[in-house]
Amino acid sequence: MTMGEILVEIMAAERGQSFRKPGLLVGPFPSGAPAIFIDQVARLGHDAAIIGCVGDDDFGWLNIERLRRDGVDTSAIAVLEAAVTGSAFVTYDKTGERHFIFNITNSASARLSPEYVGTPLLEDCTHFHVMGSSLFSPGLREAMARAIQIVKGQGGRVSFDPNIRRELLGIPEMREALTSILKQTDVFLPSGDELTLLVEARTEGEAVEELLGLGIREIVIKQGSRGCAYYDARRRLSVPALTVAEVDPTGAGDCFAATYVTCRHRGMAVEPSLRYACASGARAVMSTGPMEGTAGLADLDALLARGEPTTEAGHD
């Protein structure tokens, strides 16, 4: 299970397109980091559910219909009459950098509060995933703390993807919430320099040591087109990314995390889980739209069997 923002994304059709003048757009696409994550879990055939809020509008129903179609239990998504489903407009500049206009903090997603954590679904939850991007309001932070408490209390595990813009760390409550979640995390999945975001250490080695010292069992550093690095108390692995034509990177990290967590939860060993995660990230960047690149195991197997450079995972 996961909890958080459920959005639509509208994309500029051209690179370098400005939102200060009319142009061609594509959308609405179902989106929101936790929604993408949970859709990918369901696509792997695993039980999956999300707690979240949408407005009673086409954008909300677009998400519910997509998630439901892909096998997600949507019974804990509240459809709010007096709120509008959140949205993100994204345009890519010439260098491939993304530029967003968000309507999230005043959207239905921001209405999420501890009362929504009362869902009976959580009582059966054995794994809960936290997206740092979802912690943008006091109500959400409190709801997340409650959900983690419930799942940990019944012996479940927690994975955590900081997935956060650095400027948000300036908010003291935000850093506090993230640090508190980190201490209850079993599987930590930072992207690149997020590894050192919440620790004292400044080098990769020291950060890993500090994080493992907190009780984290597995650290998977998502490195985009460079693949990923893995650490636990005993070893380090690195797995290269698959070489694919990148169309749209949005959602790749969420798919990567979902596939890694799902494979591990099913008892798969670390190394094949990392390979599937890389394949899932690769599959995601091949499609336009944040949730359009979620994929089933057969798709990922096909991608992995495609005759990719058969570099062995590096052990050091």
Measure the CA–CA gap between 311 and 275, rounded to whole angstroms: 11
Measure the CA–CA gap between 281 and 263, rounded to whole angstroms: 14
Measure the CA–CA gap between 202 and 211, rounded to whole angstroms: 12
Contact between 112 and a second copy per CB under 8 A: no
133 contact partners, CB below 8 Å, separation of at least 6: 4, 5, 33, 34, 163, 164
Contact between 79 and a second copy per CB under 8 A: no
Contact between 29 and a second copy per CB under 8 A: yes
CB 235 within 8 A of CB 269: no
CB 233 within 8 A of CB 272: no
CB 122 within 8 A of CB 96: no
Total residues belonging to the chain: 316
Contact between 65 and a second copy per CB under 8 A: yes
Contact between 20 and a second copy per CB under 8 A: yes
Compose the 192-231 pattern: x for residues touching a second copy by CB under 8 A, - for all others: ----------------------------------------
Contact between 168 and a second copy per CB under 8 A: no
In the chain, the amino acid numbered 237 is L
Contact between 250 and a second copy per CB under 8 A: no
Q: Is the peptide bond before 28 cis (omega within 30 degrees of 0)?
A: yes
Please state the closest distance from residue 282 (CB atom) to a second copy, in A: 21
* Among positions 54, 62, 76, 255, the unique one binding a second copy when judged by CB under 8 A: 62
Contact between 106 and a second copy per CB under 8 A: yes
Measure the CA–CA gap between 128 and 122, rounded to whole angstroms: 9
- Cα 71 to its chain centre, rounded Å, is 17
Please state the closest distance from residue 137 (CB atom) to a second copy, in A: 12
CB 240 within 8 A of CB 309: yes
Nearer to a second copy (CB atom), residue 8 or residue 239: 8
CB 251 within 8 A of CB 36: yes
Contact between 61 and a second copy per CB under 8 A: yes
Segment contacting a second copy by CB under 8 A, of 80-88, 114-122, 246-254, 308-316: 80-88
Number of residues that bind a second copy (CB under 8 A): 33
Contact between 136 and a second copy per CB under 8 A: no
Nearer to a second copy (CB atom), residue 54 or residue 148: 54
Contact between 102 and a second copy per CB under 8 A: yes
Nearer to a second copy (CB atom), residue 21 or residue 234: 21
Measure the CA–CA gap between 164 and 173, rounded to whole angstroms: 14
* Among positions 74, 87, 196, 273, the unique one binding a second copy when judged by CB under 8 A: 87
Please state the closest distance from residue 24 (CB atom) to a second copy, in A: 6
Measure the CA–CA gap between 164 and 167, rounded to whole angstroms: 8
Please state the closest distance from residue 292 (CB atom) to a second copy, in A: 8
Residues that bind a second copy (CB under 8 A): 10, 13, 18-29, 57-59, 61-62, 65, 82-84, 87, 89, 101-103, 105-107, 289, 292
